[in-house]
Amino acid sequence: MAENTVYFPEAFLAQMRAAMPAHLSFDDFIAACQRPLRRSIRVNTLKISVADFLSLVAPYGWQLTPVPWCEEGFWIERDGDDALPLGSTAEHLSGLFYIQEASSMLPVAA
């Protein structure tokens, strides 16, 4: 199995094949499941405002793209991804932001 390949149990694949509408490609679904998720963060507004956080981290050169459904959420791209891990930054360790998948920032629908 390739290093970046996600393992799916055969029962799951069979269930997904049966559930997938005919006009959609099962191969495209599997390919989408193999792609890594975009890294995202959420600013802890109990400790810092979004504007202050953006000013604070501006010198790092992080590329922050707003998550449309969450005012304090951002997808993040960093040039030095393999330098200091995001979870080891002073801002993360002091609780100014959380590393959180963007889909987890969706509001709960009752």
Query: Do residues 12 and 65 share a domain?
Result: no
Is there a single domain that holds both residue 6 and residue 55? no
Q: What percent of the chain has pLDDT over 90?
A: 71
Question: Same domain, yes or no, for 31 and 68?
Answer: no
pLDDT, tens only, 72-107: 999 999 886 667 889 999 999 999 999 999 999 987
Give the per-residue pLDDT at 82: 61
**What's the pTM?**
0.74
In a domain? residue 80? yes
Q: Do 28 and 70 belong to one domain?
A: no
Does residue 110 sit within a domain?
Answer: no
7 to 4, 10, 16, 20, 71: CA distances (angstroms): 10, 9, 14, 19, 34
Quick: pLDDT tens for 30-64.
Answer: 998 888 889 999 999 999 999 999 999 999 989 99
Residues 11 and 52 both lie in one domain: no
The total domain count for the chain is 2
Q: Which domain holds residue 28?
A: 1-36
5 plus 57 within the same structural domain: no
pLDDT over threshold 90, residue 16: yes
Buried-exposed string 39-76: b where 16+ CB fall within 10 A, e elsewhere: bbbbbbeeebebeebeeebeeeebebeebeebebbbeb
Residues 27 and 57 grouped into a single domain: no
